[in-house]
Chain A
Amino acid sequence: MKRFMPVLISLMLFMFFLAPAAGEQHTLRILYVNDFHGFAEPYKPLGSDKFEGGIAYLAGEVRRLRAEMPSLLLAAGDMIQGNNWANLFQGESTIEVMQAMKFDAMVVGNHEFDFGQEVLRKRISEAGFPMLGANVEGFDALRPYMIGEVGRVRIAIIGVATEDTPVSTHPRNVAGLKFGPPADVVGNYIKELKDKADIIVVLSHIGYAADRTLAENVKGIDVIVGGHSHTMLARPVKIGGTIIVQAWEHAKALGVLDLTVEDGKISGCQGRLEDIKPVPDGEDRVVMAMVAKYRDRVSKVLDEPIGTAEADLDGEGVRKRETNLGDFIADIMRKTSGADAAIINGGGVRTSINKGEIKVKDVYSVLPFDNYIVAVKLTGAQLRQALEHGVSAVERGEGRFPQVSGLAFTYLPSAPAGSRVGQVLIGGRPLEPDREYSVATNDFLAAGGDGYKAFGDAVKSSKDFAVVGGMMRGEKLVYNDAGRWLRDVVIEYIKENKRIGPAVEGRIGEVK
């Protein structure tokens, strides 16, 4: 025994100095971003005349704040898809920047699936940090949680994604996957992790309202770092024992949450959002160089030839008459969605493409808005109503004038607005007012843009949407691919077909 006493005493002293002393405080910092969507460069948000954001400036701020105390850098989802800077490289650009910034973890957002599971798997393998998704079944590249130590505080981070993912992306992107209720999953993992970590953080991409509900219903969550709702939580919100934070969107803000931990529990917190904008010498130069590299690549991609137009594609007359370009785009929408017909607003077609070589940028110029394809079921009466609305201001050349596919109609411009449409044929047969037809359009019209009410009326009468067998089903909703812009669908079509030469087919007959 005497021989072992020095060893025993040494061991006791070692344990004494290793274990945090009672009342010993540790401070750590959680830095967080969400919903970046590839907005790498500073930009002027709608209605603003000031540049905001810029990932290089955000990275500069991260570097400065990290140097002040032990820190974690977290991303609450929807990072790799959105802006051309990310989309044209299927998120590779975003992941490269995130790696350079040394993110510690990310939760998968609904838009992370927009390029498909194989691409997401590739991005995860490139990331160098874990991508989390505890409530996502069937995708083994995601981890449910991670445990790390920051300062001398053990932190467990559980990631949860929105259950709405299947209804906000193409069904093929989530085939075979299930997105379960976050609360159940978080509750179970807290039981598993509570003895392994001092602090439990939920990194969530479920939206602020759902974060609040999660905090109310699940005990044991110390912090929720949220995303999905693009909420600017200027200060942390506390619900019960849970601190909730979210950092707005598009790299316009960096969240900073400073925690004081005592005896393995949070004894104090201070949080804020740092506004991110381009300021002289504020950038991280490594990240700035990456942003520039991909910006240059964007230019090259936009300049790539994708096919040939065998005739001029008319984007000028789209607000007054049927054009071959309008027909072409509407045809692609109908075919892609599998709908009976398609209606697009002429105002969404912004320019023409000359006969000859077609480049990516030509299609981007024609379809510059971030619109996606939607298809809903309309009755024949609702479809007629939509067409009436479309031609109701033809004399003023307004953007509502329709370009169509799968149907043909006549109209008399001299008749009163609302009573101009004559015969309507769909699939070559007379339109039946009480019969239902699937009609593709873009999300702008589906949301009531350009004054179109018919699509909204159809949606209003629809019952709940549900995901059945990986496919989104709804009584009136036929197709809904919010993760793929219409212009990219058109580009893919041209690439596949190489030569296009649409002609005006007499789908819209103006009766003089």
Chain B
Amino acid sequence: MKVYVNDIPVDILPGMTVRHALMGAGLLGEIGRKKVYDEWGNEIGLDGTLSEGMKISVK
């Protein structure tokens, strides 16, 4: 399924998490200096599950 990290599409398998999406986007190393947010501006955990079309941002 496709999710979007900072508007970049990333393909992940069902059951994969925010962590996997960040790996796919090459942004996992940013965590600590930055955090992950859902499209409504809420911080989400790295082990949170994603669904088709979800948009998350690292900032």
Give the B-binding residues of A (Cβ under 8 A): 35, 37, 45-48, 82, 110, 162, 164, 167-169, 207-210, 228-234, 237, 248-250, 374, 376, 443-444, 446-449, 456, 459-460, 465, 472, 474, 477, 480, 482
Contacts and interface: CB of A to CB of B under 8 A. Distances in A.
Contacts of A233: 42
Given A207-B49, A207-B51, A449-B23, A232 B43 contact: yes
B59 interface: no
Given A209-B51, A229-B49, A164 B38 contact: no
A112 to B, nearest CB: 14
A261 B11 CA distance: 46
Interface centre among B13, B14, B21, B50 (most CB of A within 10 A): B13
User: Which label, helix, strand, loop or mixed, suits the secondary structure of the B interface?
Assistant: loop
B45 A250 contact: yes
Contacts of A465: 1, 14
Contacts of B2: 460
Contacts, number: 110
A46 B45 CA distance: 10
16 contacts: A45-B46, A47-B32, A164-B49, A167-B14, A167-B15, A169-B15, A207-B49, A208-B38, A231-B44, A231-B45, A237-B40, A446-B20, A447-B24, A448-B24, A477-B13, A480-B14
Given A209-B51, A447-B20, A480 B13 contact: yes
Interface residues of B, number: 32
Contact of A230 (B10, B13, B45): B45
B23 A35 contact: no
Contacts of A168: 14-15, 49
Contacts of B7: none
A233 B15 CA distance: 22
A460 B48 contact: no
Contacts of B46: 45-46, 230
Contacts of A210: 51
A448 B45 CA distance: 20
A209 B19 CA distance: 18
Nearest to B48: A230
Interface string B9-45: 0111111101111011010000111000010101111
A456 B15 contact: no
